[in-house]
Each structure stands twice: as C-alpha cells, then as structure tokens.
Structure 1
Amino acid sequence: MSGPRFEPVRTVRAYERVVEQIEEAVGSGALTPGQRLPSERELMVQFSVSRSTVREALRVLQARGLVRSRPGDPGGAEVLPFTPAALHKSLATLARVDQLSLGELVGFRMTLDAAANLMAARLRTEEQLAEMESAIGAMRAAAQRGYDAFSAADVAFHDAVARASGNKLIQICQDVVRSIVLGLVSDRIAGEADRAALMARSIRHHEEVLAAVRAGDGPLAARLSRQTMYDYYVAYVPAAERAALRSLLD
C-alpha cells in the first residue's frame, strides 16, 4: 500500500506535561519571578498525578533554571528570574544533543556580531571606543604569550562592542553562543600549524572593524564582522553546512 509513512507515537510521560504547563505559565507571565508554585501536595491535586511525578517535574524545571526548590521548604518552588546562566545551559544542552549543528551556531554568531557592530557604530561613546582600542592592544601583547591570553583579549573586544550596542539580549546571546562555538572547535584551533598567522590575521580584522565603528559606518562594520566570522570558522564547519554561512555574506 502506497502513501505516507508515519513514525511510532511516543508516549508522553506525565511529568513532561506538568513541566510544559508550568513553562507555559512562566512564558505567558501568569507566573513571575519571585512567585512560588503551589506546594507539592497541591500540585498533585491540580495535575492529578503522583508525588513522584511532581518531584520529577520540579527536578527538570530546576535543572533548566526556571525554579528553585529547597528540600524541606514548606513553601512551593520559587520561580526564578531569567539569567544568562539559564540560557547558556539550555543552548549548551541543545548543542550537546546535536539539536544545533556547528554551522547553525556559527551562522547565529555571524548574525549576532553583525547586529552588535551595526548598532555600536551608531551608538558608541568615546569611552567605549577606548575600550575596544584597549582590547586590540591587549590582543597584540597577548599574541606573544600564547593563544589563551589572546583569546581572552579577543573576547574583551567583542564584549566591548556588544555593550556599545546597548542591547542586553545581544550581549547575553553573544556570550552564550561564543562560548559554545569555541568549546566545540577549541581542540582543532589548538592544533593549527601556524597559530601566529591566525592571531595576526584576527588582529587585522579587529582593527578594520574598529575603524568602521569609529567612523560610524554601521553597514561596513556589520559586513566586516560576518566576513571575519566566516573566514575564521568555515574550515571547521562541515562542507554541507557552508552554503548556509555563505548566504549571510554580502
């Protein structure tokens, strides 16, 4: 018989439904940071589930950084405010279970950095320009000491640009995605035959970006950022994913 082929239906465990409903309540604002969930007993009644199901749901929610549950606390679990750590944990988990490929992560980073550069070129202050200049100076000095120190100075430059964008979400996402990408490729970078050339090229790229930001040329700063990220990471990305990265270039 011809026709579509269907996948077996996965039985959804009760605790997953509890997690979904509480996540939806947090996402909609029905539950806000600082509020407490009902007690375990009350949750058992409202969801019509066992105590073990409630506790497993709370364990998952706590692992995701949504609530804090203290053993012996007579009150219900506390809803936590959004934090970069929670976002980092969620994205890192997705990357570990192969839901996000390296190509997708690099593409997202290209997009984030370009947006940060565009906004920084239009909004930066003289003090923020000085921070970027200082970070590049630290990169030059660190190139003689080793890649770890150089990488830290590189991060300082991108953090300065992100702050100059004035957008906290860009800052958070950029920090999260950068650390995940670097974690995935750090071993391969460490094995580069000529890391000195790699660092020298990176410094030149950062100097070009700073010049564009200083001149207030947002489109150029964004374009340079995307090209720099592409040049730096494309060799580490599987060939099948490179077309998606090229599509981000002008």
Structure 2
Amino acid sequence: MGGPRFEPVRAVRAYERVVEQVEEAIESGALSPGGRLPSERELMTQFSVSRSTVREALRVLQARGLVRSRHGDPHGAEVLPFSPAALHKSMTTLARVEELSLAELVQFRMVLDAAAILLAARLRTEEQLAEMSAAVARMRAAAERDEAAFGAADVDFHDAVVRASGNKLIQICTDVVRSIVLKLISERIAGAPDREALMRRSIRHHEEVVAAIRAGDGPLAARLSRKAMYDYYAGYVPESERGALRALLE
C-alpha cells in the first residue's frame, strides 16, 4: 500500500514543553543572564499547567545549569550566564552512559589541541611562548621525583597554548575533554610499568612542539601534537578503534 510513512510519536509530559519554551527563550536572547522568569503563579497561568508541573520544569532547568531557583523566593527563577560546568556535566554524563567512547574523546582532544597549537604558533606573544617553555622545564624537573607536579606542569603547558590561541570555546572544550579522558584512564596510567619512559617521551614531544611554535610553523606543531597524543593514548584505546585516531595522523 502506498502513501506516506509516519514515525511513531512520543508522549510529551507538560513540564517538558515548559522546559523547551524556556530554553528557546534563553537561546533566542528573549531571556538574558541575570534576568528572571515570571513567578511560579504567573508561569502556571501562562502555561496553563499545575504548580507541580512548573516546579518539575524549574528543577530540570536548574539541573541543566540554565536557571537558579530558590525555594520560597517571591521572585522568579534567575537566568544564569553560560557556565563551562554545564558543558562539563553534559559531556561527563555522555561518557558515563557510553554514548561517547574513549576513542571519540581522544580523537576530539587531538583535534582541539592541534587547532589550538596551530593558532598559537601564529598568534602567540613572547610572554606566552615563555610560559610554555617554563611549563616544559617544570615537567623536566618533576619527571623522576613527583608525578603530580609533572601532571600539573603538563596541564599548565596546554593551558598556556590554549590561551595563546585566543579562543575561549577551544579552552572550555579542552578543559572538559581532558578531565573526562584522564578520569577514565587515570588508574591505568598510574599503574603503567613504564611511567618514567612515558614521561621522558612526553617531554621530548613538548620540546618539539615548543620549537615549532617558536619558529611559527603551525602545521608542523599541529602534526607533532597529534602524533604525541596518539602515542600517549593509543595503548588505552581498543585496537579495533585505533583507526579513528590514526586517521588524524599524516
């Protein structure tokens, strides 16, 4: 029999419709950070829903980091500015429920770091270059005696690179993805039998990247960054998924 094919429909609870409309108002700019939603009573009237529906919608919006609602506050819920914490929470949840594999996360980090380094090679200041070099020097000093200090210096290096790139969104995404990846494999890294060799190799990679950035060779710096990240993380990714990482190597 011919005719159109229809997809099954999903029953939508009333509070979800309230959430959708408030989200749309925030995204469109009709509701700005620092502004307030109408009171609970006014929301009940505007949406023609019960108080319990309004409260459930506010609970969901607050869980998503979009509003702050205080019980007993006579004013409406406050619209919050965008927070990296909200993105962090969402991506962490995706990783936990295995919607994002470790390979996808590492691949995204390879893309982000390479983009930041490409930009940094062209836009960095002498002061920012000095920050990168100082972070690598701290990594070298900590390599054989203090793994925590080594890790902190490594983070400092990547933070300096991202600041030099001048892109806040790359910085936010880099922070989020790095922390999720390390959370997923931190125990395996700590238990690696060749930790010192890994750290020495990491220092060499960082020194090569700094040299390329100093020379203003963004494409080389980005290639070195992707290769370094592949070498560091590939062993933690299932063999069947490593092709996704190798696809970024040249």
Q: TM-score, normalised by structure 2?
A: 0.93
Aligned twin of 2:233: 233
Q: In structure 2, how many angstroms separate the alpha carbons of the residues matched to 1:143 and 1:182?
A: 18
User: 1:238 Cα shift?
Assistant: 2.3
Secondary structure (helix, strand or coil) at the match of 1:21 reads helix
| Cα shift readout 1:24-53 (whole Å, capped 9, x = no counterpart) | 221222211111111111212222222112
CA gap 1:147/1:12 in 2 versus in 1, 3 angstroms: farther
2:86 is the counterpart of 1:79: no
Aligned twin of 2:104: 104
User: 1:211 Cα shift?
Assistant: 0.5
2:36 is the counterpart of 1:13: no
2:64 is the counterpart of 1:67: no
| Cα shift readout 1:90-110 (whole Å, capped 9, x = no counterpart) | 211222222211111111111
Aligned twin of 1:3: none
Q: In structure 1, how many angstroms separate the alpha carbons of the residues matched to 2:39 and 2:201?
A: 58
CA gap 1:237/1:8 in 2 versus in 1, 3 angstroms: farther
Aligned twin of 1:215: 215
Secondary structure (helix, strand or coil) at the match of 1:229 reads helix
User: 1:218 Cα shift?
Assistant: 0.4
Q: In structure 2, how many angstroms separate the alpha carbons of the residues matched to 1:240 and 1:55?
A: 46
Alignment of 1:21-170 (within 5 A): 21-170=21-170
Aligned twin of 1:172: 172
Count of residues in correspondence between the two structures: 247
Secondary structure (helix, strand or coil) at the match of 2:81 reads coil
Greater Cα offset, 210-219 or 139-148: 139-148
Listed as ranges, the gaps of 5+ residues in structure 2 are 1-5
Instruction: Give the letter for the 1:91 counterpart.
Output: M
User: 1:147 Cα shift?
Assistant: 2.0
Greater Cα offset, 51-60 or 204-213: 51-60
| Cα shift readout 1:104-149 (whole Å, capped 9, x = no counterpart) | 1111111110010000000111111110011001101111223222
* Seq. identity, %: 80
Secondary structure (helix, strand or coil) at the match of 2:229 reads helix
User: 1:175 Cα shift?
Assistant: 0.8
CA RMSD, Structure 1 to Structure 2 (Å) = 1.9
Instruction: Give the letter for the 1:172 counterpart.
Output: I
Listed as ranges, the gaps of 5+ residues in structure 1 are 1-5
Secondary structure (helix, strand or coil) at the match of 2:32 reads coil
Q: In structure 2, how many angstroms separate the alpha carbons of the residues matched to 1:191 and 1:9?
A: 49
Greater Cα offset, 126-135 or 143-152: 143-152
User: 1:240 Cα shift?
Assistant: 3.0
Instruction: Give the letter for the 1:70 counterpart.
Output: R
| Cα shift readout 1:139-175 (whole Å, capped 9, x = no counterpart) | 0111122322211110000000000001111111111
Q: In structure 2, how many angstroms separate the alpha carbons of the residues matched to 1:110 and 1:74?
A: 48
Q: TM-score, normalised by structure 1?
A: 0.93
Aligned twin of 2:187: 187
Aligned twin of 1:249: 249
Greater Cα offset, 38-47 or 200-209: 38-47
